[in-house]
């Protein structure tokens, strides 16, 4: 899928494209009918016809029914409503997208664990509110990045993708009348939209964690700092000397926009009414699509960013050295309160904390 408005969108592949949406809708109808159905080549036509019914299912069912005979034609879609089909298709697509997302998250976890281990003792100055604070190590910074990614992956791993089979108003009355045994694994969720908002929150959490990494790389790769750099920076259309940290810029772009998409899903959830909503349900589809695709892109770009990340530990050491005694001011105060001379180092429990995060990452890599 090409999208000049969102460079890198092709990294999201076929997830949540109009074509995959149509295929998922047909798959839901086929599963309900209990037989295979061909995906018709009606993409453009269906996108226009969907306006008349407010969703693509009504026109799609008519096309599918025209291709069936006898009992199959009568049984197609029976007991379902359009929202059942759309919601279930969204869950099918979301499950596929999350599986792909977790593969990229796993690659990031492995890379960050390696960086944290390698730079466990690489000295640098910590910065708080943009100013020099106390000594730290780059390994500890990597462990912080890693913790954010691990937390995000935990949230993604807990996601569920319930199917929707409620019928016209969620009562499943048509199913009972038809003699169809209703699914008992989940209740209809036509107007209780937690399955959607939980996906949105988990995806936004991924871009939060990736954005935090990108922000640090952007700051630390400024020429006046020079502690990090991207492996292959992007060029400038007018300044040939520049090597812009493009991947970090694009990841930060995602982090700045996906939270608003997740907020739209919550706004839609809060505006559900009656037994099936008028507009709030319809408002979910495009934001969810954009959120899924932008998260997939951002996580993939973060993986590439870390694979090529260059660590300039000499600049880290030089900056720490240039900070002088100021970065040890807190240590001197604490030592005076405690009544002893300052210790040779002032790194607290950085080492064990790094080790604990790495152990958590390694556990994730173990076979289930």
Show which residues are catalytic.
Answer: 236, 276
What's the rounded Cα separation, in Å, for the pair 133 and 122? 16
Q: Which of 216, 217, 207 has the alpha carbon at shortest distance from 149?
A: 207
Q: How many CB atoms lie within 10 A of CB 49?
A: 16
- Angle made by CA atoms 29, 24, 162, in degrees to the nearest 5: 80
Would you say 251 and 332 are in contact if contact means Cβ atoms under 8 Å apart? no
Give the CA distances from residue 231 to residues 111, 128, 307, in Å, rounded to whole numbers and listed in that order. Answer: 14, 27, 8
Q: Coil, helix or strand for 126?
A: strand
What's the rounded Cα separation, in Å, for the pair 192 and 276? 10
H helical segments located in 137-193? 138-157, 173-178
Name the packing angle between helices 194-220 and 138-157 (round to 10°): 170
Per-residue tokens: 71? 């009992």
Burial per residue of 260-299, b for 16 or more beta-carbon CB atoms within 10 angstroms, e otherwise: ebbebbeebbeebeeebbeebbebbbebbbbbbbbbbbbb
Q: Which of 365, 356, 363, 307 has the alpha carbon at shortest distance from 140?
A: 356
Q: What is the DSSP letter of 206?
A: H
H/E element, 301: helix 285-307
Give every CB contact of residue 236 below 8 A, 6+ residues apart in sequence.
Answer: 242, 244
What's the rounded Cα separation, in Å, for the pair 174 and 75? 12
What's the rounded Cα separation, in Å, for the pair 301 and 307? 10
Name the packing angle between helices 57-66 and 18-33 (round to 10°): 60
């Amino acid at each position: 899928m090409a999208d000049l408005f969102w460079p890198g969108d092709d990294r999201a592949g076929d997830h949540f494209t109009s074509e995959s949406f149509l295929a998922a809708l047909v798959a839901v109808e086929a599963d309900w009918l209990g037989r295979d159905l061909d995906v018709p080549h009606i993409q453009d036509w269906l996108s226009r016809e969907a306006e008349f019914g407010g969703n693509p299912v009504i026109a799609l069912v008519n096309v599918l029914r025209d291709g069936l005979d006898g009992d199959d034609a009568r049984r197609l879609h029976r007991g379902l409503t359009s929202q059942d089909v759309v919601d279930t298709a969204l869950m099918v697509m979301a499950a596929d997208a999350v599986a792909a997302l977790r593969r990229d998250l796993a690659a990031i976890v492995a890379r960050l664990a390696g960086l944290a281990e390698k730079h466990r003792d690489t000295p640098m100055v910590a910065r708080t509110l943009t100013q020099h604070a106390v000594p730290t190590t780059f390994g500890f910074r990597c462990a912080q990045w890693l913790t954010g990614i691990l937390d995000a992956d935990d949230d993604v791993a807990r996601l569920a993708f319930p199917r929707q089979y409620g019928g016209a108003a969620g009562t499943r009355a048509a199913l009972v009348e038809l003699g169809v045994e209703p699914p008992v694994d989940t209740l209809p969720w036509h107007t209780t939209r937690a399955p959607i908002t939980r996906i949105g929150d988990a995806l936004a959490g991924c871009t939060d964690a990736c954005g935090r990494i990108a922000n640090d790389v952007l700051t630390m790769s400024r020429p006046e700092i020079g502690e990090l750099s991207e492996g292959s920076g992007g060029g400038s259309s007018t300044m040939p000397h520049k090597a812009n940290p493009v991947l970090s810029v694009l990841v930060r772009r995602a982090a700045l926009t996906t939270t608003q998409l997740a907020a739209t899903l919550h706004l839609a959830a809060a505006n559900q009414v009656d037994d099936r909503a008028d507009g709030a349900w319809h408002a979910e589809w495009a934001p969810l699509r954009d959120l899924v695709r932008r998260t997939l892109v951002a996580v993939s770009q973060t993986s590439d960013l870390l694979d090529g990340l260059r660590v300039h530990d000499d600049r880290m050491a030089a900056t720490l050295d240039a900070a002088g005694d100021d970065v040890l001011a807190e240590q001197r105060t604490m030592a005076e309160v405690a009544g002893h001379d300052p210790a040779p180092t002032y790194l607290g429990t950085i080492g064990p904390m790094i080790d604990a995060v790495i152990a958590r990452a390694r556990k994730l890599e173990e076979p289930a």
